Structure 1
Amino acid sequence: MTISDINPVELKVFLNHIYEFKKGVRQMVLYTTNKKYEAFAVKRLTDQKISYIIQPVGNGRINLFFGRKECIEAIRLLVKQPLNKLSPEEDFILGAMLGYDICAQCERYCERKVRCA
């Protein structure tokens, strides 16, 4: 993919996530994007020595997890299936790792746990 193939509007959020990570606002990021941007994203993360993993989503999209090495290693162990197939506990852990509102995560966990019962 050449730089002329890149739509900066579509990657603006990705680039902002990198900025926030580098500034310490986030420890880890989950970014879902079109697979056509994978090479660009991987090059940017590799050039900046940011750990990452890619999870295919389907429909030509990918989940790109990136951030601190410790977090990415935990994701490698935790996320071995599509995100919608995670157990309520795995979903809770992932949300907490991504820095989502912990009370909202507790509500989500309880709702998912009741549905599973």
Structure 2
Amino acid sequence: MTPHDGLSMPVHLLGHHLYEYSKGVRPMVMMTLSTRDADTVTRKLAERFVDYHVQTVTEAKVNVFFGNPSCVAMVRSVVRKPLNQLTPEEDFILGTLLGYDREQQCRRFLAMAQAGREGAGREGAGRDGAVS
């Protein structure tokens, strides 16, 4: 909980993410949240008419993707499994949509493709289903 306003930290950070989205800093945001926080966040997104998609991570955690409708539609189409099981191509698309550094995304893609890892065994690599 934050001492300022009684909001949990993820809900408090939503304001910052919405500001960046509204200014065009990033086209899409992903937050990993407790299901309780996700209810609050999705309600606030709906009130602001911001498109979003919720992906279950565990019984207690979800990923909430929000931002430009076309980006969120792409996530709905591409992200159909846990993030640590994405193919190198799917991982590249997601990272690009989230505004990650393009050169790093290219290096990450090449390393994953060269290793022949179609999304397996990448825990801790930045998108393991538990980042915000």
Q: TM-score, normalising length from structure 2? A: 0.79
Structure 2: distance between partners of 1:113 and 1:88? 6
Q: Number of matched residues?
A: 112
Aligned position for 2:19: 19
Instruction: Find runs of 4+ consecutive structure 1 residues off by over 6 angstroms.
Output: none
Give the unaligned 5+ runs of structure 1. 1-5
Q: CA deviation at 1:59?
A: 5.4
Q: Percent identity?
A: 36
Aligned position for 2:50: 50
Indicate whether 1:63 and 2:63 are aligned.
yes
Aligned position for 1:41: 41
Give the unaligned 5+ runs of structure 2. 1-5, 118-132
Structure 1: distance between partners of 2:111 and 2:81? 21
- Cα–Cα, structure 1 residues 114 and 81, in superposed 2: closer, same or farther, change >3 Å? same
Question: Could you say which structure has the higher helix fraction?
Answer: 1
Q: CA deviation at 1:77?
A: 0.7
Where do residues 1-117 of structure 1 align in structure 2 (5 Å cutoff)? Answer: 7-58=7-58, 60-116=60-116
Contact 2:10 2:37 (C-alpha < 8 Å) held by counterparts: no
